[in-house]
Copies of this chain bind each other. A is one copy, B any other.
């Protein structure tokens, strides 16, 4: 069965999935690259062109990004900084060949025509409740899993709607103080999930929420 999954969503100890302000030059605001240094150090991230990289628990989790995923849903603020919709040439942060390689649905109140990129990524711009959008995206995923790609706002919305089956959050030992916070308004979330935590020698803690069956 097709599941909805959040993979490697990084937050600070105080729960922020990004800093502020978000601009073209600073997609994560004052957080800079600090939320993702653990990932940049993995064998998986370095890939074919760069030697080395850790092969431990960070790498094991990071590798779950692509396998089994048939489509992604992301929020408007992950696709671009405030005002991106006023630039008809904006195609996201990821260059001509984005790392998604599947249909990728951008939740936004500023819909535009789909953008076909290299490597299998097509950006679709959609509006609707999480339920409505998920129905449409499952179709596009062709029976595979759907990645809920963030940011914090849409992950929170999908969690509130009970639409996430597997949540993997990476807690980085920094305090951002401001930005977009994941955990607001989710009292009692753990009741529907098996929760595990494991720390890595890199200093981050991997938290996994797996929806309890039956």
Segment with Cβ contacts to B, from A58-66, A88-96, A133-141, A174-182: A174-182
Closest residue of chain B to A197, judged by CB?
B199
Q: How many copies does the complex hold?
A: 2
Q: Once the chains are docked, how many angstroms separate the CA of A113 from the CA of B40?
A: 58
Are A205 and B203 touching (Cβ within 8 A)? no
Which of A176, A183, A184, A196 has the most chain B CB atoms closer than 10 A to its own CB? A183
- Chain A residues touching B, majority SS: loop
Q: Please tell me the number of chain A residues within 8 Å of chain B, measured between CB atoms.
A: 27
Are B175 and A188 touching (Cβ within 8 A)? yes
- Chain B contacts for A186, CB-based, 8 A: 14, 175, 177
- Chain B contacts for A177, CB-based, 8 A: 185-188
A198 within 8 A of partner (CB): yes
Find residues 159-214 in chain A having any chain B CB closer than 8 Å to their own CB. Answer: 171, 173-178, 183-190, 195-199, 203-205, 207
Which A positions have Cβ atoms within 8 angstroms of B? 13-15, 171, 173-178, 183-190, 195-199, 203-205, 207
Residue pairs across A and B with Cβ atoms less than 8 A apart, 29 shown, are: A13-B183, A13-B190, A13-B207, A14-B183, A14-B184, A14-B186, A15-B15, A15-B183, A171-B197, A173-B190, A173-B195, A173-B197, A173-B207, A175-B183, A175-B186, A175-B188, A175-B190, A176-B187, A177-B185, A177-B187, A177-B188, A178-B187, A195-B203, A197-B203, A197-B204, A197-B205, A198-B199, A199-B205, A205-B205
- Chain B contacts for A204, CB-based, 8 A: 197
